[in-house]
Amino acid sequence: MTDAIPGPARMHEITDETRAIVDLVLEYSRGRLLATENPLDKPLSPAELSRLAGRTISEDGIGARKALSTFEHVLAPSCITTDDPQYLSFIPSAPTKAAAAFDVVVSASALYGGSWLEGAGAVHAENEVLRWLAAEFGLPATAGGVFVQGGTLGNLSALVAAREAARARGIQPDRWRVVCSVEAHSSIASAARVMDVEVVGVPSGDDGMLRGSAVREALAEHGDSVFAVVATAGSTNFGIVDEIASIAEVTREYGVWLHVDGAYGLAGMLSPLARHRFAGVEHADSLVVDPHKWLFAPFDACALIYRDPELGRRAHTQHAEYLDTLTETDDWSPSDYAVHLTRRPRGLPLWFSLATYGAAAYRSAITASLELAQRIADEIEQRDGFTLVRRPQLSAVVFERDGWTKADYVAWSNRLLDEQHAFVTPSSHRGRTNARFAILNPRTTFEHLTAILDTM
């Protein structure tokens, strides 16, 4: 169905063709959102995808119906469904239905989230979520920040602000340094490469936790060259929370910026079962937590929060003649608080979901994950031929099958996915291959997990 309208206008005018395209896409989206059983799916090779999909980009196009059919029957089945309850690798995503549905609204509404001038309503809603999170973490009412793409960009932006704050105090060493645990997330090393600064990796204890005493030694050795200390609130591999309170005591003594990387784990603070583990986070100068992980928002969203947002603004505001309208006001423009300019209001799906279900539903879902992690850890300890590597602090459970080699784990993982049973990739610790359950999805059950153990 095509109307006789010139090419450029044809793509933007409301025509019969446009209505048909919108109906097709919304019908598919509705079906996917409301389906009770979506397939886990698995990747295909480049050659196989090229053969099945064929050429889709041409001068005349293939039409919406064929394009959507190609996506539905070829491309989508080659993408693993991250909100499947048996997706237990890396850090899963399990957006609420309200959040996922509202993500469609965000795109359909042609919203820009970079400035207050252009997106005041969206920014207001995002800021309400950020204030709620800041209050949960014990930060002052004046704290604030922005939703960015993910933890890597959030950590980089926070560290850039930390270094600028040190420079503003007149500190200018020959070499800037950031102190963190040797088990800190890889994004800290990535940020350091981008910033051309040195990472001082501090050994953690046998339990994987970084403590203030070890940080004190690093600060005493490197002095003013250290512009920030990074504490981890839930490591990706084990879900370990550093001893933030003792680290914060040392950073306050030395006057060094404390950044808390809670991309995965800090959401655990919303549950009374885990809140005590995060004592000291209220002293952070900046922190991140990713709603697309344990706060049930769709990809991609990381909440970056500053104790003093003005320090973030000074570090990140971009200046250009065409931006004078924005930068010469006191308006709260999200683009001023991170390494970005153009931005989608990616915090809105979380806002809508929180407004719809209430915070108590989130606390309950997070608590359920914590309880399930403890229960399956007990089960692993009781099974012959299995070894629990560490008791879980949060919802990551790491274990070994006695006598297995790396090849055994890889073959087992591949078989699980080939059979569409589960997605559990091998991990490792101190040179030993292991298996790992990342339990975040409220639809994951004890029976799911024991059935996977039975395949070993």
What is the tally of structural domains in the chain?
Answer: 3
* Local confidence band at 1 (pLDDT 50, 70, 90 cut-offs): very low
Which pLDDT band, with edges at 50, 70 and 90, does 2 fall under? Answer: very low
State the Cα–Cα distance between residues 361 and 55, nearest whole angstrom: 46
Q: What is the pLDDT of residue 205?
A: 85
Please check whether residues 234 and 155 belong to one and the same domain.
yes
What length does the chain have?
A: 456
Q: What digits encode the pLDDT tens for the residues 268-295?
A: 999 999 999 999 999 999 999 999 999 9
Show which of 357, 380, 407 is a domain's final residue: 357
pLDDT for res 366: 98
User: Looking at the structure, do residues 225 and 369 belong to the same domain, yes or no?
Assistant: no
Say if residues 447 and 422 touch (Cβ distance below 8 Å): no
Q: What's the chain's average pLDDT? A: 96
For residue 3, pLDDT beyond 70: no
Tell me what pLDDT residue 328 has.
87
pLDDT at residue 36, as a whole number: 87
Query: Do 234 and 374 lie in a common domain?
Result: no
pLDDT confidence band for 90 (50 / 70 / 90): very high
* pLDDT, tens digit, 9 for 90 and up, residues 27-65: 999 999 999 888 999 999 999 999 999 999 999 999 999
Range 149-160 average pLDDT: 98
Residue 337 within any structural domain of the chain: yes
Residue 125: pLDDT over 90: yes
What letter represents residue 176's amino acid? W
User: Does 274 reside within a domain?
Assistant: yes
Q: What is the pLDDT of residue 6?
A: 56
Phi–psi pair at 414, nearest 5 degrees: -65, -40
Q: Say what percent of the chain tops pLDDT 70.
A: 98
333 and 390 in a common domain: no
From 4-8, 103-107, 269-273, 354-358, the region with the lowest mean pLDDT: 4-8
pLDDT digits (tens, 9 = 90+) for 395-430: 999 999 999 999 999 999 999 999 999 999 999 999
Q: Which long-range contacts (CB under 8 A, 24 or more apart) does 20-25 make?
A: 20/64, 21/64, 24/64, 24/65, 24/68, 25/64, 25/68
Q: Say if residue 150's pLDDT is above 70.
A: yes
Angle at 367 between CA 364 and CA 370, to 5 degrees: 155
CATH of the domain at 240: 3.40.640.10
Task: Please state which of the ranges 76-90, 159-173, 183-197, 323-337 shows the lowest mean pLDDT.
Answer: 323-337
- Residue 7: which pLDDT band, with cuts at 50, 70 and 90? low
Buried-exposed string 66-97: b where 16+ CB fall within 10 A, e elsewhere: ebbebbeebebbeeebbbbbbbbbebbbbbbe
Do 106 and 219 sit in the same domain of this protein?
A: yes
d(CA 144, CA 133): 9
Question: Which residues is 287 bridged to in the sheet?
Answer: 260, 305
- Give the CATH number of the domain where residue 395 resides: 3.90.1150.10
**106 and 255 assigned to the same domain:** yes
* Sheet (strand 432-438) strand order: 386-388, 396-401, 432-438, 427-429
Same-domain pairing of 131 and 257: yes
Which domain covers residue 435, as residue numbers?
359-454
Residue type, 6: P
Is the domain of 224 the same as that of 185?
yes
Same-domain status, 153 and 296 = yes
57 and 169 in a single domain? The answer is no
Interval 299-321 mean pLDDT: 96
Say if CB 444 and CB 413 are below 8 A apart.
no
Average pLDDT estimate for 259-269: 98
Q: Are residues 344 and 243 in the same domain?
A: yes
Question: Is residue 407, in this structure, part of any structural domain at all?
Answer: yes
pLDDT exceeds 80 at position 215: yes
Contact (Cβ atoms closer than 8 angstroms) between residue 89 and residue 425:
yes
